[in-house]
Amino acid sequence: MLRIEGLTAEVDGKPILKGIDLEVPTGEVHAIMGPNGSGKSTLSYVLAGREGYEVTGGSATLNGVDLLALEPEERAAAGVFLAFQYPVELPGVGNANFLRTALNAIRRGKGEAELDAMQFLKLARARLKELQMSEDMLKRGVNVGFSGGEKKRNEVLQMALLRPSLAILDETDSGLDIDALKIVADGVNALRAPDFAALVITHYQRLLDYIVPDKVHVLMQGRIVQTGGPELAKQLEASGYASVQAAA
Ligand code: ADP
Ligand code: MG
Ligand code: MG
């Protein structure tokens, strides 16, 4: 499970996370909601170990492993997957090679044998089939000319190949249409398993119509101010964050 205790972090000397306590048991999907600027993306960057996001206190462990002590690549090998809000385009790099490199880096980190091109192709085809995706996905340049939905599909494929213990999905506040959100939701739902957990970060309630979370946490001004079931997301949609602020 993911266990975060008293986590504080700053960016450019400015405190952003002001004491986050959060537990996501394995097998569960939790949502983090909150207004713009509340620190949602900062939390995901801190968990992924992004440069410039300085942890000033507290702890974050995944299945007992201290994530904050690890380099970003080591966190991936420890089972953390972070979907980027804005996926990179890598012209000239074939998507199959890109995905195989990412998978093999994690396998090396776990002390597992790397997959050669044929072994990878076999695995990728099996995952594509499970996700009902086309094999064309493997032939293109990484994200080059991909529509928003195709980028999301690729992200879900990557997640399915890497099979993380914890997926952190920070869905950007803008630019994602409902079809793209559905692709993410279908992917998370397909991966739901006793040894998989997801933290879905979203500004919008509508994503949670498709991924029904076990718990919803509301993040405001760097703190989790309320936790509830899926109904909390509906309530927020109806009455907005101001009602939470008043109650907190
Ligand atoms: P959210 O994802 O909830 O919209 P963010 O984590 O992006 O919130 O931002 C939280 C706060 O941290 C905001 O006040 C934002 O201006 C600030 N912040 C985030 N990233 C940076 C950065 N790289 N440099 C300076 N300030 C930042
Ligand atoms: Mg934002
Ligand atoms: Mg954000």
Q: How confident is the model at residue 204 (pLDDT cuts 50, 70, 90)?
A: confident
Could you give the residue ranges of the DSSP H alpha helices within 136-229? 136-139, 148-162, 178-191
Number of neighbouring beta carbons within 10 Å of residue 116: 10
Tokens representing 116?
């050669």
Question: Considering the chain, what percentage of its residues have pLDDT values greater than 70?
Answer: 95
Over the stretch 133-183, which tens digit does the pLDDT of each residue have? 889 889 888 878 888 788 888 888 999 999 999 999 987 656 677 888 888
Would you say the C-alpha torsion 120, 146, 191, 43 has a positive or negative sign?
positive
Pocket residues: Cβ below 6 A from ligand 1: 11-12, 16, 34, 36-42, 52
CA atoms of 63 and 60, how far apart (whole Å) = 10
Over the stretch 100-112, which tens digit does the pLDDT of each residue have? 998 998 899 889 9
Where do the domains of the chain lie, and which CATH numbers do they carry? 2-91+164-247 (3.40.50.300)
| 135, 147, 233 from 47: Cα distances, Å | 32, 28, 23
Burial of 246 (0-12, 13-18, 19+ CB in 10 A): exposed
Would you say the C-alpha torsion 164, 166, 169, 170 has a positive or negative sign?
negative
Q: For residue 38, what are the contacts with CB-CB under 8 A and spacing of at least 6?
A: 219, 220, 221, 222
| Spatial CA neighbour of 206 closest among 184, 222, 190 | 184
Ligand 1 site-directed mutation target among 12, 16, 47, most atoms within 8 Å of CB? 16
Over the stretch 51-83, which tens digit does the pLDDT of each residue have? 999 999 999 999 999 999 998 888 888 999 987
CA atoms of 30 and 25, how far apart (whole Å) = 9
Ligand number, closest to the Cα atom of 219: 1
Range 5-22 average pLDDT: 97
- Which residue's CA lies nearest to atom 26 of ligand 1? 11
Tokens representing 79?
């089972």
Ligand 1 atom closest to 219 (CA): 3
Ligand 1 atom closest to 170 (CA): 2
**How many whole angstroms from 95 Cα to the centroid of ligand 1?**
31
Ligand number, closest to the Cα atom of 85: 3
Strands 80-83 and 90-94: unpaired
**How many whole angstroms from 176 Cα to the centroid of ligand 3?**
13
Report the run of H or E that residue 73 belongs to, with start and end.
helix 72-77
CA atoms of 248 and 11, how far apart (whole Å) = 25
- Which residue's CA lies nearest to atom 23 of ligand 1? 11
